[in-house]
Amino acid sequence: MLLLNVNTIKLEDYRDGAPYAILSHRWVDGKEFLYEHITSAMTENEKVSHPGYAKVLGACKQARLDGHRYMWIDTCCINKSSSAELSEAINSMFNYYKKAQICYAYLAGIPNTIDPYVAEEFARHEWFSRGWTLQELIAPTEVVFFTDRESHTQDDGWDGDTEHEWEGRKSSMCERLSSITGIDEIILSHSRDIRSISVAKRMSWASKRVTTRIEDRAYCLIGLFDVNMPMLYGEGDKAFIRLQEEILKDSNDESLFLWTDDDADPKTMTGLLATSPDVFKCSGHYFPYYDWEPRVPFFKTNQGLQITLPLRRVEDDIYTASRACT
């Protein structure tokens, strides 16, 4: 795992569990300071002139103020030119955020004068609508929200005219964050293990979130379901199918099949696996029901999903199948 030394702003390879802070932010195309920049021979003046460098410096400065020596920032600490390194990082991302000492969530563009507990500007910020930030909100023990504050001073030797303004902490805003995201307060407060939440409900949290690449709608949920899968950019909707196939390998939660596609033709045949998190938007109230009756395991075969369900005849050749959920 590569970590950014907050004093030298250089990458160091640490695999011995060194404590670190972590950044959650919204990428801006063409304006991020990347791994290639960190590892290049750019002069300090060249770095300072880069539009994304100020964000890196600001995050490192805050980490230093909070007593942290290392920082993990996805844009700087992942060599995306290596498919193996990218795949490892994406599969490990949830744990990266979970193990961090603290997570700084940077919500660019919000006025520092607002009250995040009531202001619509806070609730409507795009950080709450992105796919990757879902796990970045859930996984860390603590998330501190920051926005910009204009300043014309240079403190601690860092160039730039933007400092960061503290807006609130996840630990004290669970009710507010739950109302914005639909995520249960007991999950945000880490009062209950996320594995106790039904598959359908976890999917519903992602139903209104978006990603730049369609495959990332599946890849950003890997950690939420504690599964692993290779990255195959270009596969499109198949990524979400593969995610569900990985989930059902280790779970007998039949709420995975409880979704509704409002745009589907009622006369068209479809499978039990969804093609997008969108169809789980109304599935947040389902949870699995476990009784003492033995159930036949369901699994994926080369001919599709094999599952045994109780059937009840409705009329003629129409039947309803019962699933172990309420």
Would you state the pLDDT for residue 165?
61
DSSP string, 228-273: -----TT-TTHHHHHHHHHHHHH---GGGG----TTS-TTS---SS
Q: Is this structure's pTM higher than 0.85?
A: yes
Would you state the pLDDT for residue 177?
97
79: nearest Cα among 13, 20, 22, 136: 13
153: nearest Cα among 167, 143, 163: 163
Q: Are 94 and 19 in contact (CB under 8 A)?
A: no
* pLDDT tens sequence for the chain (326 residues): 899 999 999 999 987 778 999 999 988 877 899 999 999 998 999 999 998 999 999 999 999 999 999 999 999 999 999 999 999 999 999 999 999 999 999 998 888 888 999 999 999 999 999 999 999 999 999 999 998 764 433 333 323 344 556 778 999 999 999 999 999 999 999 999 999 999 999 999 999 999 999 999 999 999 999 999 999 999 999 999 999 999 999 888 889 999 999 888 888 878 889 999 999 999 988 877 666 677 778 778 877 778 777 778 888 777 777 667 77
Residue found by looking up tokens 């002069």 in the block:
43
Indicate the helix (H) or strand (E) that contains 59.
helix 53-65
